[in-house]
Every structure is written in structure tokens, then in C-alpha cells.
Amino acid sequence: MTVLQSVRRPRMAGPAMAAALGLALLPGLLAQKPMYDPPVATPGGLNPRPYLMSIVRTQGVANVTWTGIHGPYQLLQKTNLADTTWQAIGDPTTNTSAQVALQDGDAFLAVTGGDDNYVGVQFCRICHKSTHATWTNTLHATALQTLKDIHQDKNPRCIGCHTVGYGLAGGYQDETTTPFLANVQCENCHGPGGRHISDFEDPSLRPVVSISAAICGGCHTDAHHPTYDEWKDSLHAQVNEHVSSGFANSDGSPNTGRMMQCGVCHSGAVRVALINQAESGSPQPTLPSAEDAAKFGIACAVCHNAHRPGPGPGGEVEQTRYPTYSLDNYSYASSSDLGSFVPQYNPNIQVCGQCHNMRGAKWTDTSRPPHHSPQYNMLVGQGGYDLGVSKIMTHGLETEDQCASCHVYAYDVASPTEEDPNYKGHTFLPTYEACVDCHGSAEGAAAFAEATKVNIINRITEVVGFLNSWATNKAPAALKDKYGALSWEYNVAGVLGNPAGNSAIKGPTSAEQANVPDAIKQARMNLYLVQHDGSFGVHNGDYAKWLISIAKTNVLTELAKP
């Protein structure tokens, strides 16, 4: 027996494939049932049809697995692809796996799901009034009109991403037959709502709520708008393995403390749960399962809100949750306390600064250097030991969209192709093309940036040399004799004192840190803020130089002491 296996949905006649609903982010439910993550991004958003995932043959049995958003599911087979009918295997099931006895001859397998129907936003708005009201101000609400404007509203290659359920049973057909399914609506992202409105009190029938980027990626893709394709190649698409390994306890249960400490900015599932808590006023968040926390990176929904326009001009296009420009200092102090997020949450801080901040670091800290994320603080020239200056800014003050100006710089090409697509800036890699208006040319900006980096690196290296000299000559004997050149470092020595990153190499213990002068602690924090910013002065050269100059003065003063 030969089994045909495909991870993509089969294109075939037969029963309607996968229908609706059943994964809602409800208290007590999420931890038991993972969020749906489409295995394939498809045009139109959430495809309600199930996907055959694997078929593994073991002697006379095939172990079949599939995924879908709602059952009951029915396995089907036929012995020849030319057959017009499929035969059911076993009874309908709510499981997503089965064993199939193999017989002689060829067989091809498929899976179908429960029937459902699309109902349109006019039903959703009955209960979700406020969400509907803000959605009407987004470009999603007029998506079909954008096709009409370019005379492509009859083009089947375009319609799927500008209407609800096009090409699926009960989906959009044309504006005369199904006008209520025009534009990008709730059911594009949440799946058909027929079952939900038939019994809206049944939580198992509630629409899918998932932050999977694949739901957005089916439309925000291809050579014309490759946002999803770029994002997949970015670090935002991943959850750092070192971080994610701690999201589960030894028994597999969620490690909520680790989620609150690291997941706030490393896991999209955790981040969105906390945003939902802040916006709903709930006393505590409904954190995701350990599996979901580790699976979903900083996906689209972390920075964008499909339900409402973003703040500021152009918000209906960007739909960002936060502005792209702010000047107030911000430093989120991570904690394992479930109630720690909301009191610190500030939606007025620009979108990148929400996570790319110094994470509560202070010069009095002794355990480890500031987190590798102080880019926002460096950009707006605040946060270091800076003798109380209010702000020292270069790009932070003068650049209209701050981080996004260079890191989400988008441009179009004359005739986009897969080999030469448009660029939407969602690799988040900086481009010097964004610097032309101020610096004259991309080449000139690149040369200026490289010169700035060399200058700042040399300044850091000089002060580290002074710190090493203090450590080996002026440090208290209790430190000098035990730690040598590391006498100035944090307990977990950073890259400046421990370039190889050897975890066995430590600086003074917590108790011994009391013997490190305050001036040295202030100096080391300033150096690490500039080092961990990663731009070496490009984000804010004036502030970087100011922090390093204070560090240098501090260390030289300590060296001059008898």
C-alpha cells in the first residue's frame, strides 16, 4: 500500500474542510490547549480547513496526524486519484491523530472537518461594538475598495486577501451575491463564526484567537508586500532557546516566574497576554502554556493591532500599538511577580522602546551588567550615570520616526519580482538609504557611522584599560589578590572584563561588591550601556561620548588616590 502524504491541504472535491472555532484565550483554558498555529500561511488569513501533517508507516499500520481549528474530523481514502468519491475511514473524531490499517494496493488519504459558515461583521458587531467601531477606521475595513481603485476587484489572485473566505464554502463570491463578506473582517483572522453565533455561550465554539504570524502572512507576502517573508528571516521570529528552555518547570507546567522575567520581551505569547491584562484592567494576566510561550516570537500582533488604527498620522496604515516617536525615559524592571507588568506599562513610549530598554538597570547593581537592550535609553539620552543632565540627543530628537526611520525603512522597486521584491523593512536591519536626506548619500552616512563606531570603541577600550589598572594596582587587597583585573567587574563578569564569555569566570561576590568604590560602579555601568547598545555611538554619539567621559573621569580619580 502506498500512502500519499502532504502537509498542505488537498485541493479536492468532497466534504467541506475544517470549519470553525474552539480555541479562545480563556482563563484556565490556554494552559491546557495550545494556540492554533497554521502550518501554512494562506491568502485570506485563517484557513479553517484541516491540514494533513504526517503519515508514518509501521509494519501494517499507518499513524496519521493532522491539525485543524475545529472537528469533528473525518479521515478519507481512495485507491486512485481519478476516483470521484472518497471513502470514510472509521467514525468522525475530535482527535487529531489516528491509526489506519494498511492493505494491499495504493491508497490516498485526506482529512475533513466540521461544517460551518461565514456570517460577516454585521453579526460580530452586535456584541463586539467597540472593536467594530475602531476596526472601521482601519484600511482592512475598506480593503476591497483598494482593488476597485486599481481595477483589480475581479482578479481572483487578489480577491482572496481583500474579502472573507474567498474560494471556500460559504465565503465571498462577488459583491452582488455576498456583499456582507467584502473587505478584511473578523473572520479572516478568527475563522468562520457560524457555530459561535448559534451558541455563543459555549466556550468551545468561540472563534480562534492566535498571535501566529502565519495568519497575517498569507496576505502580507509576495514580491509586492513581503512583510511576512522578511519577518521570518528576522530575530523577532524566534524565541531565544536559552530563554525558552526555562518557560517550563521539570513537570512541564508553565514557569510563570521565568515568563514574567524574560517572556515579557522574548515571547510574543507572553507579551500579548500582558498587554491584554493591561488593557482589560485584569488584576493578573492569563499567561500562556509553556509550549506557546516558547513557540511564538515577537509576531505581528505584538507591535500591531488589527482591531484599531495606530496612534499618530498614518495610523490607519501602520496600525501599530504604540507611537514611533517619544522622548520620555523608560526602563522596565523585570520581575517574577505576576503583578509587575501593569504598574510599569506605558503605551506612550515608542514601539521599539517597549522592549529595547535598559530593563531597570541601576549603577548600584552588582550581580550582572545591564541587559543587552538599552537602545531606547541611549537614543533619547537618558538612563546612565550622567550627572543629572536632562537629555543629550542626536538621532533621538531629530529623526522623525526614531528607530523605525532606519530599522523599518521601506521602499518599492519599479517592477517587483521574487528575485527583486519591494522591501518593507521587516528584517529590522538598518539601512543607510534612510540617512540620505541628512547625510547626502548612503555611502557618506555609512562612512560616518563606521568612523563613529571606531571612535567609541577606542574610547571604551581606553577606559577598560584604566579599570584594569585600578583593579591590579588600587583595588582593596581582598579583591585584588582574589580577582586581579576582574576586581572592578560585576559578579557575573560581562564581555568587557571577560571577552571569551567563560561562565566559570566571576567577579566579586555580592558581599564583596561593597568593597568596589561607587565611582567604579558608575563607570562600569556607563561603559556597559554604550557597549550593549550595540551601535557604538550611531544611535546617539553625543550621549555615548558623555557617558564614557564620566566613566573615564571616575576611574582616573580613583587611580589618583593614594
Same domain, 40 and 98: yes
Sequence-distant (6+) residues with CB within 8 A of 448 are: 439
Domain of residue 31 covers 3-112
Q: What is the CATH number of the domain that holds 455?
A: 1.20.140
**Is-contact 341 274, C-beta < 8 A?**
yes
Residue 230 lies in a domain: yes
Hunting for cell 561576590 — which residue is that?
509
Q: Tell me, yes or no, whether 548 and 401 share the same domain.
A: yes
Number of domains composing the chain: 3
Q: What are phi and psi of 108, to 5 degrees?
A: -125, 135
Look at the chain and count its residues: 562
Give the long-range contacts of residues 50-53, CB within 8 A, separation 24 or more.
50/9, 50/17, 50/18, 50/111, 50/112, 50/113, 51/7, 51/8, 51/9, 51/111, 52/5, 52/6, 52/7, 52/9, 52/10, 52/109, 52/110, 52/111, 53/7
Q: Kindly state whether residues 550 and 404 are assigned to the same domain.
A: yes
Do 406 and 547 share a domain, yes or no?
yes
For position 12, what pLDDT does the model report? Answer: 31
Q: Are residues 404 and 532 in the same domain?
A: yes
In a domain, 172, yes or no: no
Looking at the structure, tell me whether residues 402 and 542 fall in a common domain: yes
Residue 287 lies in a domain: yes
H or E element, residue 480:
helix 477-483
In a domain, 169, yes or no: no
Q: Are residues 76 and 14 in the same domain?
A: yes
How many angstroms separate the CA atoms of 537 and 449, rounded? 8
Tens of pLDDT, residue by residue, the chain (562 residues): 333 333 223 333 222 322 222 223 333 333 446 899 999 999 999 999 999 999 998 888 889 999 998 889 999 998 888 888 999 999 999 999 999 887 766 678 899 988 789 999 999 999 999 999 999 999 999 999 999 999 999 999 999 999 999 999 899 999 999 999 999 999 999 999 999 999 989 988 889 999 999 999 999 999 999 999 999 999 999 999 999 999 999 999 999 999 999 999 999 999 999 999 999 999 999 999 999 999 999 999 999 999 999 997 778 888 999 999 999 999 999 999 999 999 999 999 999 999 999 999 999 999 999 999 999 999 999 999 999 998 999 999 989 999 999 999 999 999 999 999 999 999 999 999 999 999 999 999 999 999 999 999 999 999 999 999 999 999 999 999 999 999 999 999 999 999 999 989 999 999 999 999 999 999 999 999 999 999 999 999 999 999 999 999 999 999 999 9
Instruction: Specify if 231 maps to a domain.
Output: yes
Structure-block grid coordinates of residue 458: 577606542
How many C-beta atoms surround the C-beta of residue 188 within 10 A? 27
pLDDT at 8: 29
Position 19 scores a pLDDT of: 28
My answer on whether 350 and 433 are in the same domain is no
* Last residue within a domain, chosen from 329, 355, 381: 355
Q: Environment class of residue 280 by beta-carbon count within 10 Å: exposed (0-12), middle (13-18) or buried (19+)? A: exposed
Whether 466 and 327 share a structural domain:
no
Q: Are residues 408 and 550 in the same domain?
A: yes
343 and 224 inside one domain: yes
Q: What Cα–Cα distance (Å) separates residue 494 from each residue in 295, 499, 545, 550?
A: 29, 7, 20, 20
Q: No. of H helices and E strands in the chain?
A: 23, 7
In a domain, 168, yes or no: no
**What is the reported pLDDT for 105?**
63
Q: Is residue 184 part of a domain?
A: no
Residue 204 has a pLDDT of 83
- Dist. CA 424–CA 488, nearest whole Å: 44
For residues 361 and 368, give the distance between their C-alpha atoms in angstroms, rounded to a whole number: 9
Single out the residue in 90, 112, 134 at which a domain terminates. 112
Question: Are 236 and 297 contacting, i.e. CB atoms less than 8 angstroms apart?
Answer: yes
Same domain, 549 and 407: yes
What per-residue confidence (pLDDT) applies to 33?
67
Q: Is residue 196 part of a domain?
A: no
